Amino acid sequence: MPFPPLPAPLQAALAERGYAEPTPVQAAVLEAETEGRDLLVSAQTGSGKTVAYGLAMAHLLMGGTDRLSAPGQPLALVVAPTRELALQVQGELAWLYAKAGGRVVTCVGGTDPIAERRALERGAHLVVGTPGRLRDHLERGNLRPQSLRAVVLDEADEMLDLGFREELEAILETTPEDRRTLLFSATVPAGIAAIARTYQKDALRIAAGDAGAQHGDIEYRALIIAPHEIERAVVNSLRFFEARSAMVFCRTRATVTRLHGNLAERGFAAVALSGELSQAERNRAMQSLRDGRARVCVATDVAARGIDLPDLGLVIHAELPNDPETLLHRSGRTGRAGRKGISALLVPHNRRRAAERLLQAARVQAAWGPAPSAEAIREKDDARILAQATELAAEEPIDGDLALARQLLAAQPPEALAAALMRTLRAPLPAPEDLAEISDRPPPRQPHPAGAGNAPGTWFKMNLGRNGNADPRWVLPFLCRRGNVTRQEIGRIQVQERETRFEVAPWASDRFATAVRRPGDAKDAHIRIQPSDPPLADTPRPRPAAPRRQYEKR
């Protein structure tokens, strides 16, 4: 379905950008029944919302002409939750209205407010900004709202999540009552509905597509891993899926800093985004991702809100999100504008139930399986390297290359030269990590504690006892970390003078034995774990008969 009639400059801009037909949300806001009305729109992230509201207010701003008047007081105001999103919106509206003579000004936190004031004084057709900075310019008189014909609240639910309700209400109360208000939100919680009732007039509710349906361009993977191998699994996931650019989500700034450092040390071109960075540092990180100098972005949820990266093909949840909305928001960074993407959740085996509940609440179907192994990555590398070498060999040789090639063939056998080429092509690739083998089968629904009832556990021992200050308080977490098991899968622990014996649940004993055979951390290299017979104390002993109570005769 083609676009409906639009001003000629906007039609030309869309054609230059390759927009042959509108996305569902763009088609919805351009229906005849929406003309001039307030809109409350919910749509999946990455569905083309910016262009949608840019087109929805085109006739209102241009008044039936093909060119905007000279810039003066702004005609439209767009409020976005974060600096990054505001800058992206500015870029989208700038190309959309460029041929119509449109001037778009941004007002965002972390930048020079004096420069923004001067830009507003020079005039603008559209102003895009964050709630706090826009409110400040309004209160100082730098931004004059009298001529506003349209106000857009973009990602309104995120603005409420970030605590901007007071700023939004202050902005809306200063704008003209006859403005058109377009409210775009991924979800419509009670707070958004309240704002719509208060500040919109007879708003038309639009749900573009099935808001509850799984995003068709995002493939979800749930990768079972050992709890202590998250960073190794991130490395292998980045290597296996080999996306042009990827985003790795963590919960805390400390985790972002540590994981970013580890990835950079392993040879990945990575940048970090977290709340502790200055705006200049954030801008440099984003620019390096956009121009291809960096391929991996490690970020917290707050820092990554609203980010739209070109060709982002992979999202990795290094730590599971707390709620389904965050899962969908993170995953929505990929699969945008018709491109395919992968959202990979790293699920420690002891958190599988939590991950299943999270996916169910988000109404997402994920393919379960183990994290990519080093062997699988090497197989993919071999195929990529062969294809790359074949492509290089098919190129037309430059003058002198053939002569040099003949000299090399005279000095070395062809197999040696081919192997040298393979080593050269493989050298820049970060080495994959060896991961513990974890079954992707669901664990028993209600496992009995180790050694309970008629399901006795398997006994092991380690060469550390009271002589080495062994204590169950640190032995238990050590065994869980070293053996890829949970606390519930460790039974009795008996600390003896020179060794410690302990029991592992029968369904976890093979996994435990496999994990402890692999080398552990250097600081624990002296601790050896091996199978053991049950201790003698484990043999049931008959209970002594209870003494009879003597009663005096009265």
Q: Tokens 């840019």, residue?
A: 54
CA proximity to 231, closest of 319, 352, 294:
319
Q: Are residues 120 and 226 in the same domain?
A: no
Tokens of 447: 């496992």
Number of domains comprising the chain: 3
Neighbours of 341 (CB within 10 A): 24
pLDDT of residue 544: 46
pLDDT in tens, 105-155: 999 988 899 999 999 999 999 999 999 999 999 999 999 999 999 999 998
Q: What backbone phi and psi angles, to 5 degrees, belong to 346?
A: -90, 115
Domain boundary among the residues 207, 236, 268 is at 207
Backbone torsion region of residue 389, taken as left when φ is above 0, otherwise alpha when ψ lies between -120 and 50, otherwise beta: alpha
- What is the mean predicted confidence (pLDDT) over 165-193? 90
| Res. 323: pLDDT tops 80 | yes
CA dist 77 and 138 (Å) reads 12
Domain of residue 500 covers 458-537
Determine the Cα–Cα distance for residues 460 and 50; give it in Å rounded to an integer.
61
Same domain, 165 and 105: yes
Q: How far apart (Å, rounded) are the C-alpha atoms in residues 302 and 155?
A: 13
* 405 band by pLDDT with thresholds 50, 70 and 90: confident
Lowest mean pLDDT among 43-52, 406-415, 419-428, 469-478: 43-52
The residue length of the chain stands at: 554
Residue ending a domain, among 160, 185, 207, is 207
Query: Last residue of some domain: 167, 188, 207?
Result: 207
- The answer to whether the beta carbons of residues 94 and 17 sit under 8 Å apart is no
Q: Are 353 and 239 part of one and the same domain?
A: yes
Average pLDDT on 39-61 reads 87
- As a whole-number percent, the residues of the chain with pLDDT over 90 amount to 41
Residue 402 resides in a domain = no
φ, ψ dihedrals at 545, nearest 5°: -65, 140
352 in Cβ contact with 346 (< 8 Å): no
Question: Does residue 245 lie within any of the structural domains?
Answer: yes
Q: What is the DSSP letter of 345?
A: E
Same domain, 180 and 139: yes
Q: Are 87 and 309 in contact (CB under 8 A)?
A: no
Between 391 and 279, residue with greater pLDDT: 391
Tokens in use for 248? 């790795």
**What pLDDT score does 522 carry?**
64
Answer whether residue 303 shows pLDDT above 50: yes
User: Region 67-84: what's the mean pLDDT?
Assistant: 92
The number of CA neighbours under 13 Å toward the Cβ of 286 is 20
- pLDDT tier at 95, thresholds 50, 70, 90: very high
Q: What is the pLDDT confidence band of residue 537, given thresholds at 50, 70 and 90? A: low
Residue with the bigger pLDDT between 418 and 118: it is 118
Does residue 98 form part of some domain?
yes
Q: Which residue has the tokens 């980045």?
A: 238
Cβ neighbors of 376 (< 8 A, separation 6 or more) are 240
pTM: 0.65
Q: What is the mean pLDDT of residues 354-375?
A: 91
| H or E element that contains 205 | strand 204-207
Q: Who contacts 371 (Cβ-Cβ below 8 Å, separation ≥6)?
A: 223, 224, 225, 229, 233, 236, 237, 346, 435, 438
Tell me if 200 is assigned to some domain: yes
Q: Helices 190-199 and 165-174 sit at what angle, rounded to 10 degrees?
A: 10
**Residues 91 and 231 grouped into a single domain:** no
Q: Order of strands across the sheet with 458-462?
A: 490-495, 500-504, 458-462, 529-531
Note the pLDDT of residue 367: 93
What is the share, in percent, of the chain residues with pLDDT greater than 70?
89
CA 150/CA 37 separation, integer angstroms:
11
The rounded mean pLDDT for the chain is: 85
- How would residue 167 be classed by pLDDT, with cut points 50, 70 and 90? very high
Q: Is residue 237 part of a domain?
A: yes
- Cα-Cα-Cα-Cα torsion 229, 235, 238, 242, nearest 10 degrees, comes to -130
- Position 366 scores a pLDDT of 93
pLDDT in tens, 250-292: 999 999 999 999 999 999 999 998 877 877 888 888 889 888 8
Which pLDDT score, from 0 to 100, does residue 452 have? 45
- Clarify whether residues 268 and 244 are in a common domain: yes
Map 8-49 to HEC letters.
HHHHHHHHHCCCCCCCHHHHHHCCHHHCCCCEEEECCCCCCH
Residue 525: strand, helix, or coil: coil
For the cut 60, the answer to whether the pLDDT of residue 212 exceeds it is: no
Q: What is the pLDDT of residue 550?
A: 47
Judge whether residue 449 has pLDDT over 70: no
Shared domain check, 230 and 186: no
Locate 254 and state its tokens. Answer: 């400390």
* Type and span of the H or E element at 328: helix 324-331
Give the Cα-Cα-Cα angle 197, 198, 201 (nearest 5 degrees).
65
CATH number of the domain to which 63 belongs:
3.40.50.300
Same-domain check for residues 172 and 246: no
Same domain, 173 and 86: yes
> What pLDDT shows up at residue 552?
42
Q: Which helix (H) or strand (E) holds 118?
A: helix 113-121
Considering the domain architecture, whether residues 169 and 288 belong to the same structural domain is answered as no
Give the pLDDT band of residue 24 (cuts 50, 70, 90). confident
- Check pLDDT > 60 for residue 521: yes
| Per-residue CA distances from 358 to 321, 347, 366 (Å) | 8, 11, 11
Q: CB-side exposure of 256: number of CA atoms within 13 Å? A: 23
Give residue 383's identity as a one-letter amino acid code.
A
**Can you tell me which residue has the tokens 């730098």?**
142
Question: 53 and 186: one domain?
Answer: yes
pLDDT for the residue 209: 57
pLDDT digits (tens, 9 = 90+) for 420-445: 888 888 888 888 888 877 766 665 54
* 352 assigned to some structural domain: yes
Is residue 300 a part of any domain in this protein?
yes
- 381 assigned to some structural domain: no
Q: At a CB cut-off of 8 Å and minimum separation 6, what does 198 contact?
A: 169
Beta bridge partners of 504: 458, 490
> What is the pLDDT at residue 441?
64
What does the block give as tokens for 213? 């349906």
In sequence order, what DSSP letters do the residues of 407-459 get, joined into one string?
HHHHHS-HHHHHHHHHHHHHTTSPPP--------SPPPSSPPPTT-TT---EE
Question: Is there a single domain that holds both residue 70 and residue 108?
Answer: yes
